[in-house]
């Protein structure tokens, strides 16, 4: 016979948010599939997706179908991203990194939300995370390895106020939406996001504006499979305790594929990502994208329609330009998401 806590856990719907544009909408489907797969008979969710204009009805229907197949008791709600951060600095990323900062504005009826990046898989349900008491804290998250005293991030940082040894990763957050609204931080976020000195803009904005009111939570909520070398250093500097690290590596709640992505590369524990990709309708597409060689496209530009002036060559995510078709002129990378 179930006790009252078990009954409440089964019936309560947990609020969780994902934010993405057309670059990672299928990866969002994998994250949602893994979330719901591990929550069967435990809890259901209100899944809020902050999306860009290029997430059309076909995309939305595909994600809704994934939800219904895994947990028809859950719901998925699409929220249109606003344009408040269109003038923000996002370097090699896209403006979608700022969508998480819109949550206090887009969800005025909620006091708290769990947020997750989409380059993850869930290995457990969010019942325990939902019970974390934020108290007076504005956000809760896992300490980033950038807290290392000799981390390249800290060496190269152009904006020093962030070096507080309590720097949190923004890939998984529990956000105190009510307190964030009460602090009127939203307009500050918009202005600060234009600062070109930030290395990881959205993450830096959050860490700076929430300083002194950040709660550090267990490493298991954002364990990076490729982070072994940095984790060893973190243990040496007591950023993470050995017991915490042992629990995270043996029984992670979330695997966060920061850096190299399993859909493009061979990465540690990447096979687990593929396990959940297989239960989505996108599996064959991921396989084709992974196995097919990068296409090489060329386009020539002429002066007066006959004098060769410039050649554009696209290889994967690199675009190369050649003056007079043969002299290397410049090389750029297309925009990518974190």
Domain-wise residue ranges, the chain = 4-290, 294-333
pTM above 0.95, yes or no: no
What is the residue-averaged pLDDT of the chain? 87
pLDDT of residue 302: 66
pLDDT of residue 47: 98
Q: 3-state class of 163 per DSSP? A: coil
DSSP state for residue 223 in the 8-state scheme: B
Task: Dig out the tokens for 1 from the structure.
Answer: 């016979």
Most confident of 3-17, 119-133, 281-295: 119-133
Mean pLDDT of 167-196: 96
The fold of 4-290 is Spore Coat Polysaccharide Biosynthesis Protein SpsA; Chain A (3.90.550)
pLDDT of residue 270: 95
Say whether pLDDT at 42 is over 60. Answer: yes
Task: Dig out the tokens for 106 from the structure.
Answer: 């887009």
**How far is residue 327 from each of residues 298, 307, 323, measured CA to CA in Å?**
15, 15, 5
Dist. CA 58–CA 70, nearest whole Å: 19
Question: C-alpha angle 92/81/283, rounded to 5°?
Answer: 70
Strand-pair partners of 315: 296, 318
Dist. CA 55–CA 120, nearest whole Å: 20
Most confident of 157-166, 210-219, 303-312, 328-337: 210-219
Contact by Cβ (8 Å): 305, 296: no
More confident residue, 191 or 156: 191
Mean pLDDT of 263-281: 95
pLDDT of residue 176: 98
Mean pLDDT of 1-6: 44
Measured over the CA atoms of residue 235, residue 240, residue 244 and residue 248, the dihedral's sign is negative
Say whether pLDDT at 154 is over 70. Answer: no
pLDDT of residue 237: 92
pLDDT of residue 336: 31
Strand-pair partners of 314: 297, 319
pLDDT one-digit tens code per residue, 212-266: 999 999 999 999 998 888 999 999 999 999 999 999 999 999 999 998 999 999 9
Dist. CA 130–CA 109, nearest whole Å: 17
pLDDT of residue 338: 34
Q: 3-state class of 132 per DSSP? A: coil
Dist. CA 19–CA 116, nearest whole Å: 8
Dist. CA 331–CA 312, nearest whole Å: 10
Dist. CA 338–CA 334, nearest whole Å: 13
For the chain, what percent of residues have pLDDT higher than 90? 69
Rg (CA), the chain: 22
Least confident of 44-58, 80-94, 130-144, 157-171: 157-171
DSSP secondary structure string for all residues of 26-75: HHHHHHHHHHHHTTTTT-EEEEEEEE-TT--HHHHHHHHHHHHHH-TTSE
Mean pLDDT of 306-332: 67
pLDDT of residue 213: 96
Dist. CA 313–CA 305, nearest whole Å: 19
Contact by Cβ (8 Å): 184, 104: no
The beta strands (E) that lie in 137-217 are given as: 139-143, 168-175, 214-216
pLDDT of residue 332: 57
Say whether pLDDT at 306 is over 80. Answer: no
Task: Dig out the tokens for 168 from the structure.
Answer: 């949190």
pLDDT level of residue 1 (50, 70, 90 thresholds): very low
**181, 158, 171, 240: which is closest to 203 by C-alpha?**
171
pLDDT level of residue 324 (50, 70, 90 thresholds): confident
Task: Dig out the tokens for 39 from the structure.
Answer: 């929550």
More confident residue, 328 or 106: 106
The secondary element (H helix, E strand) that includes residue 318 is strand 318-323
Dist. CA 332–CA 318, nearest whole Å: 6
């Amino acid at each position: 016979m179930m006790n009252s806590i078990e009954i409440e856990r089964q019936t309560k719907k947990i609020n969780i948010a994902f934010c993405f544009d057309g670059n990672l909408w299928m990866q969002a489907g994998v994250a949602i599939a893994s979330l719901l797969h591990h929550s069967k008979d435990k809890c259901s969710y209100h899944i809020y997706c902050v999306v860009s204009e290029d997430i059309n009805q076909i995309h939305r229907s595909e994600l809704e179908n994934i939800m219904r197949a895994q947990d028809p008791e859950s719901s998925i709600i699409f929220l249109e991203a606003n344009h408040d951060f269109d003038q923000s600095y996002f370097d090699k990323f896209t403006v979608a990194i700022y969508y998480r900062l819109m949550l206090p504005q887009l969800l005025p009826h909620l006091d708290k939300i769990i947020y997750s990046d989409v380059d993850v898989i869930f290995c457990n349900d969010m019942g325990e995370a939902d019970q974390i008491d934020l108290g007076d804290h504005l956000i809760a998250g896992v300490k980033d390895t950038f807290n290392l005293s000799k981390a390249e991030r800290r060496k190269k940082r152009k904006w020093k106020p962030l070096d507080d040894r309590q720097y949190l990763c923004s890939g998984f957050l529990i956000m105190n939406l009510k307190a964030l609204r009460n602090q009127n931080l939203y307009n500050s976020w918009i202005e600060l996001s234009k600062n070109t000195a930030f290395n990881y803009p959205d993450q830096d904005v959050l860490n700076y504006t929430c300083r002194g009111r950040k709660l550090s939570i267990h490493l298991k909520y954002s364990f990076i499979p490729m982070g072994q070398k940095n984790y060893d250093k973190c243990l040496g500097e007591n950023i993470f305790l050995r017991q915490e690290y042992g629990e995270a590596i043996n029984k992670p709640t979330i695997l966060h594929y920061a850096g190299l992505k399993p859909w493009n590369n061979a990465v540690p524990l990447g096979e687990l990502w593929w396990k959940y990709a297989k239960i989505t309708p996108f599996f064959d597409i991921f396989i084709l994208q992974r196995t097919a060689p990068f296409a090489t496209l060329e386009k020539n530009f002429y002066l007066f329609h006959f004098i060769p002036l410039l050649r554009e060559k696209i290889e994967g995510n690199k675009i190369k330009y050649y003056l007079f078709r043969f002299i290397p002129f410049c090389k750029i990378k297309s925009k990518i998401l974190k």
